[in-house]
Amino acid sequence: MDKVVKLIPITKAYLWGGTYLKKYRKTDEDVISESWELSIRKDNNVAVEGSNKPLNELLSDKDLGRNCKRFPYFPLLIKLIDARDNLSIQVHPSDDYALKNENSFGKSEMWHIIDAEKDAGLYVGLNKDYSKEEIEEKLKDSTIEECLNFYKVKPGDTFIINPGTIHAIGKGVRLIEIQQNSDLTYRLYDYLRKDKNGNYRELHIDKALKVIDYHKYENRPIKSDILADNQYFKVIRKSFDKELKISANEGSFLSFTFIEGNGLVDDIPFHEYDTFFLPNGKECLIKGHGVVIISGVNK
C-alpha cells in the first residue's frame, strides 16, 4: 500500500445505542451503538473506500511496521460509541490471565469524550479499597454502583482503562475508544435489563471476581496532546487550521479519525467521524480545519 486510504466502518446495534451516528453511517438498524472505525478481525473487517476490498487484503507486514511484529494479531481496534442508555458494568482481564484461561489476549483501552449531555458521565474504578467478598455481596444485591467512581464528563476528557478496572459508559455520552484488538469482556451488572427477545444478558461474575483490581482507583487527568502512551498504543489529539502533515515512521502505521471539521486528506475529502489508514513509512497532508485523533502501535 503506497498511500493513505479512507476506511468504511462497521456498525453495531445494541440495546443501549443511540441515533446520532446514523447521520454519518448507512444502516438498516434503528440505532448505531458502535461504529468500528479500524478493525481487522476474523468476523469484522473494515473496507477501503473505492476498492471494494477489506483492509486486511490490501496490507503487507511492511505496511504495518515493525512494532506490530510482536503481536500475533492486528493490534488495534478503534470505535466510535454513542450511548443513549447505560452500558453494562464490566471488567477486562490482563494478557497474562486471558492467555492462561481464555486462549486470548486481554484488553487495555482508553476513552476520549467527544460530547456529553448535562450531568452525563462514566463509571471508572472503585471509590475505595474493597475485598473480593464485599464486591461479590454488592453484585448479589445489585448495589455495585455504590462502590464505583462516577465522573461527570465534558468534551476533551480522557480516561485510561487498564485491565482489572471496573467501568461503564453512562447514558448521554459519545466517545472514541482505542483499545487492544480484543473483545474479551466480563459483564458484572446490566441493570436487570432484558434484550429484544425478553432475555437477560449473560453475566460473568465468577470470572470477573478473579481479575478485578480491588484497590481504589486514582484518576489522573490528561493535560497534553498525548492522550495515551502505553505498551500497546500511542494516541495523540491534534487541532489544526489550514494544514497538518501526518507521517507514519518505520515503527507503525497510523490510523486517524476526525472528531471535528472538514477538508481534504491529500485529495480525499473528509468530514467529522471519517477515519483513515496511513501505512508505515508514508505521509499525507491534511488541508482544512478540525480536530483529529491519531493512533499507532508502540514499540
Active-site option among 70, 84, 174, 187: 187
Of 43, 40, 41, 48, the residue nearest 1 (C-alpha): 48
Which residues, 6 or more positions from 142, have their beta carbon under 8 angstroms from its beta carbon? Answer: 189, 192
Residue 100's identity, in one-letter code, is: K
- State whether the Cα torsion 189-193-199-201 is positive or negative: negative
Residue 282's identity, in one-letter code, is: K
* Structure-block grid coordinates of residue 49: 473506500
Burial of residue 203 (CB within 10 Å: 0-12, 13-18, 19+) is: middle
Asked if 109 and 178 touch (Cβ cutoff 8 Å), the reply is yes
Catalytic residue status for 187: yes
List, by residue number, the catalytic residues.
187
